Amino acid sequence: MENKKKTVTVKNLTTVFPTSRGLIKAANEISFSMSEGSCLALIGESGAGKSVTALSLLRLVPPPGRITGGEIILDNQDLLKLGSAEMRRVRGDDLALVFQDSLSTFNPVRPIGAHICETINTHRRLSNGEAKEIALGKMADMGLPAERVFKSFPFQLSGGMRQRAALAMALSLHPKLLITDEATTSLDVTLQAQVLHYLKKHLQDCCMSVLFISHDLAAAAAVADRVAVIYAGRIVESGPLKEVFQKPLHPYTEALIGSHPSFCSGTLEPIKGSPPDLANLSAGCSFVSRCSKASGICHQIAPVLQEAPTGHQAACHLLIGKVVDDGEVAVS
Ligand code: SF4
């Protein structure tokens, strides 16, 4: 297998929010790494910790939330050790974020081109002509009619075009890591497919990594090569996307797949119950109240992520002793 350079390694990243009911660990010892040209999908229900993870990577956690531990290694430097000025440079230069709502990304009274050129000029010493050339190039990469979109105001574009313009802006500085947070969620299926197509095409042509945050498994499957499933602030399963989606090891991943129309061949089964109260987590597995496979130990001891021979990891007591000789892992 081709040995690609690691772009980002996140180790035990923990972000907390103090509340009147206690400290909430919204991102709890999150670890993953990504290679250049790869796309990792971070999937899970709303409130699972996906967006907090994204904001933590950018060190933009809104107060009173704060990062209390871990490492974010990008290009051999730990972002958590950088000063504010250096971190501002890294954001934009090396890290970029695209949100769900591109309408709020752009000032409604300025043309799209002015936004992209301003972003470029904030980080690079280039002439206006050179900045415009980069902006037009990135818009063309996203399949946009570049000259027209450059002069257009945000409200003159469709949601899909606007989202691709937001991606063009994020990519204009060639970030090492692009984070998209539900970037295609508000689009209809056709527009979503367009955005994902151009994102994937760009990913194949360059050396960046993409952290694709979504609750939509079909969108994740269209663009990612690896997946991490997050539940109650913790990654509960991770590995190659095909492997995880075809042979999920964690009952939560199984339940997510079973509740998604694109993946479930039989009757759709909504995940019963609701996510736990993060201010009041019990000692055991955080999925225990919703898990049909729970046993006594699940109420007492929190499972930790462990490696299976299939090449992926899961945090579930069912894995212990259930890895059979041929490398298959049975959870049922
Ligand atoms: Fe279910 Fe127990 Fe596995 Fe948690 S550890 S997912 S409760 S079987």
For residue 180, tell me if it sits in a domain. yes
> Quick check: is 271 in a domain?
yes
Residues 275 and 298 in one domain: yes
Helix (H, G, I), strand (E, B) or coil at 146: helix
Ligand 1, atom nearest to 285 Cα: 4
Bridge-based pairing of strands 209-214 and 177-181 is parallel
Report how far ligand 1's centroid is from the alpha carbon of 157 (Å): 46
Hey, whose CA ends up nearest to atom 5 of ligand 1? 316
Tell me the C-alpha distance between 250 and 229, whole Å: 9
Summarised one tens digit per residue, pLDDT across range 286-302 is 999 999 999 999 999 99
For residue range 159-213, what is the model confidence (pLDDT) as tens digits?
Answer: 888 988 999 999 998 899 999 998 888 777 887 888 888 888 888 777 789 999 9
Q: Are residues 252 and 275 in the same domain?
A: yes
88 lies in a domain? Answer: yes
| Same-domain check for residues 235 and 286 | yes
What's the rounded mean pLDDT across residues 70-87?
95
2 falls in which pLDDT band (50, 70, 90)?
low
- Percent of the chain past pLDDT 90, that is, above it, reads 66
Q: What is the mean pLDDT of residues 94-104?
A: 83
Whether 223 and 39 have beta carbons less than 8 Å apart is answered as yes
State residue 126 phi and psi, 5-degree precision.
Answer: -130, 155
Give 291 Cα–ligand 1 centroid separation in angstroms. Answer: 6
> Does 60 lie in the same domain as 192?
yes
Ligand 1 centroid to Cα of residue 47, in Å, is: 20
Residues 6+ apart with CB under 8 A from 174: 206, 208
Task: List the Cα angle 95/143/153 in 5-degree steps.
Answer: 80
Residues 32 and 112 in one domain: no
Instruction: Give the C-alpha separation, 65 to 3, whole Å.
Output: 37
Residue 295, classed as helix, strand or coil, is: coil
Q: Are residues 167 and 187 in the same domain?
A: no
Question: If pLDDT is split at 50, 70 and 90, which confidence band does 265 have?
Answer: low
78 belongs to a structural domain: yes
So what's the pLDDT on residue 203?
Answer: 80
**Is 101 inside a domain boundary?**
no
321 class by beta-carbon count within 10 Å (0-12 exposed, 13-18 middle, 19+ buried):
exposed
Task: Measure 304 CA to ligand 1 centroid, in angstroms.
Answer: 11
Phi-psi region of 205 (alpha: psi -120 to 50; beta: other; left: phi over 0): alpha
**Residue 264 confidence (pLDDT) above 70:** no
Of the three residues 147, 172, 197, the one that is the final residue of a domain is: 172
Query: Nearest residue CA, atom 3 of ligand 1?
Result: 316
Residues 195 and 301 in one domain: yes
According to DSSP, the residues that pair with 22 across neighbouring strands are: 19
User: Which domain covers residue 155, as residue numbers?
Assistant: 106-172
**Best of 236, 295, 316 for a ligand 1 pocket test (most atoms within 8 Å of beta carbon):** 316
138 and 181 together in one domain: no
DSSP label at residue 272: P
What average pLDDT does the segment 53-78 reach? 96
Is there a single domain that holds both residue 21 and residue 144?
Answer: no
Mean pLDDT score across all residues of the chain: 89
Q: Does 100 reside within a domain?
A: no
Q: Among 154, 172, 190, where does a domain finish?
A: 172
Q: Tell me, what CATH number does 243's domain have?
A: 3.40.50.300
Instruction: With respect to residue 99, please indicate whether it lies within any of the assigned structural domains.
Output: no
CA of 203 to the centre of ligand 1 (A): 36
Same structural domain for residues 62 and 127? no
Which of 172, 189, 209 is a domain's end point?
Answer: 172
1 within domain boundaries: no
Structural domains in the chain (count): 2
Per-residue DSSP letter, 323: B
Q: How far is the CA of 306 from the centre of ligand 1 (A)?
A: 13
Ligand 1 mutation target, pool 287, 289, 300, most atoms within 8 A of CB: 287
CA 64 → CA 71, 82, 234, 284, distances in Å? 20, 20, 20, 27
Count the neighbouring beta carbons within 10 Å of the beta carbon of residue 264.
Answer: 12
CA dihedral angle for residue 118, residue 124, residue 127, residue 130, rounded to 10 degrees: -90
**Do 167 and 194 fall into the same domain?**
no
Q: Distance (Å, rounded) from C-alpha 198 to C-alpha 97?
A: 16
Asked whether residue 198 falls in the same domain as residue 315, the answer is: yes
Mean pLDDT of 241-257: 94
Buried/exposed code over 195-226 (b: 16+ C-beta within 10 A; e: otherwise) = bbebbbebbeeeebbbbbbbbbbebbbbbbbb
Average pLDDT rounded to a whole number, residues 268-282: 87
